[in-house]
C-alpha cells in the first residue's frame, strides 16, 4: 500500500496561522480578564484603542472581550497552565503493594528533604505585558487616569459626545460603551451619572422643556436624548417640567 502524500506547504501554513491566531486570542482575553479596561489593555500592548478594536474585530473577539470587562469574578474563565512553563521536580509514585510493604511514617518524622516540593510558578519577566502589574503601580495608574478624566469632565461638562471626541478623535470618537467602561474603571461612574443628571435638569429648565434645544446643546440626536433620560430616570421629571411650562404659557394667553 502506497504511503499517503505529505501535507502541502499551504496546509502547514494554514495550521500555523490558526495556532498563531489561537495564541493571540488567548493572550488578548487574558489581558481583558486581568485589566477589566480596554484602554489599559491597549496601553500594555503598545497599541492605540482603534488598533486594538481592529484586531479584536479581525479575531471576532470584541463582544467576548467586553463581556469580560463588564463581568464579575465568578464569570471569568478558569485559569489553565501555560504550555511550556516550568514546574516542580517529577514525583515518583509508589504502587499500592510497595506502600503496604513499607512501614508507615508519621508526617512529623519525615525529613524536609523527603517532603514533596510544591510546583514552582513560571517566572514573570518585567518586559512581559501579560504579567500582572504590582498593586501599587496599578493603583497609581488608575489614580492618574481618574485625575485626567476629572479634569476633562470639569472642562467640557458631562456631555458624552464631547467627551468621546476628546478621548478619541474628531473623525472617530470613542464608542459609548468604551467611554463608560473607562469612567467605571477609574471609579467615576457615579460622579458622571450625577453630573449628567444636574446638567440635564439645568438645560431643560433653561430651554423650558424643549427636547430639541437640549439635544442640540448636548450634541446628540433625539433618540440618544430619550435613551439618556431613561438611563438617568429623568423622563417623568422632564415631562412634568414641560407640562408646567405649557400651563404657564396658557395662563398668560
Write down the pLDDT at residue 47: 81
Interior CA angle at 25 toward 20 and 28, to 5°?
125
**Does some domain include residue 128?**
no
* Nearest to 196, CA basis, from 210, 179, 212, 173: 179
**Does some domain include residue 114?**
no
* Nearest to 177, CA basis, from 75, 70, 71: 70
What length is written for the chain? 253
Taking only the tens place, the pLDDT of each residue in 59-110 is 888 888 888 777 554 445 555 555 665 555 555 555 555 555 555 554 444 4
Contacts of residue 109, Cβ cutoff 8 Å, sequence gap at least 6: none
Q: Is the pTM of this model over 0.85?
A: no
Residue 73: domain span = 11-79
Number of structural domains (the chain) is 1
* Nearest to 166, CA basis, from 202, 219, 223: 219
Write down the pLDDT at residue 112: 46
Write down the pLDDT at residue 143: 84
Contacts of residue 187, Cβ cutoff 8 Å, sequence gap at least 6: 142, 146
**Does some domain include residue 36?**
yes
- The rounded percent of the chain whose pLDDT value lies above 70 is 70
**Does some domain include residue 35?**
yes
DSSP symbol at 225: H
**Does some domain include residue 234?**
no
**Does some domain include residue 223?**
no
Write down the pLDDT at residue 109: 46
Q: Could you give the 3-state DSSP secondary structure of residue 141? A: helix
**Does some domain include residue 17?**
yes
pLDDT of residue 9 exceeding 50, the answer is: yes
Taking only the tens place, the pLDDT of each residue in 162-215 is 898 888 887 888 888 888 888 988 888 889 889 999 999 989 888 888 889 999
* Nearest to 204, CA basis, from 228, 232, 238: 238
**Does some domain include residue 116?**
no
Write down the pLDDT at residue 148: 87
Q: How many CB atoms lie within 10 A of CB 43?
A: 17
Amino acid at each position: 500500500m502506497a504511503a499517503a502524500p505529505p501535507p502541502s506547504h499551504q496546509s502547514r501554513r494554514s495550521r500555523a496561522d490558526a495556532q498563531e491566531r489561537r495564541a493571540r486570542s488567548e493572550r488578548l482575553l487574558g489581558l481583558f480578564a486581568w485589566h477589566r479596561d480596554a484602554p489599559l489593555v491597549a496601553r500594555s500592548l503598545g497599541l492605540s484603542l482603534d488598533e486594538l478594536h481592529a484586531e479584536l474585530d479581525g479575531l471576532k473577539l470584541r463582544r467576548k472581550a467586553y463581556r469580560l470587562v463588564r463581568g464579575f469574578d465568578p464569570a471569568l474563565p478558569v485559569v489553565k497552565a501555560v504550555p511550556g512553563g516550568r514546574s516542580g521536580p517529577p514525583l515518583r509514585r509508589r504502587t499500592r503493594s510497595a506502600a503496604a510493604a513499607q512501614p508507615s511514617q508519621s508526617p512529623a518524622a519525615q525529613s524536609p528533604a523527603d517532603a514533596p516540593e510544591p510546583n514552582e510558578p513560571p517566572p514573570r519577566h518585567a518586559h512581559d505585558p501579560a504579567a500582572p502589574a504590582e498593586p501599587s503601580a496599578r493603583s497609581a495608574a488608575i489614580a492618574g487616569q481618574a485625575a485626567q478624566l476629572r479634569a476633562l469632565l470639569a472642562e467640557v461638562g458631562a456631555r458624552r459626545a464631547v467627551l468621546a471626541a476628546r478621548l478619541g478623535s474628531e473623525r472617530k470618537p470613542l464608542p459609548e460603551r468604551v467611554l463608560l467602561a473607562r469612567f467605571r474603571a477609574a471609579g467615576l461612574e457615579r460622579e458622571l451619572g450625577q453630573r449628567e443628571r444636574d446638567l440635564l435638569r439645568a438645560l431643560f429648565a433653561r430651554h423650558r422643556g424643549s427636547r430639541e434645544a437640549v439635544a442640540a446643546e448636548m450634541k446628540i440626536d433625539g433618540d440618544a436624548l430619550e435613551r439618556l433620560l431613561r438611563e438617568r430616570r429623568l423622563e417623568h421629571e422632564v415631562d412634568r417640567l414641560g407640562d408646567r411650562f405649557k400651563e404657564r404659557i396658557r395662563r398668560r394667553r
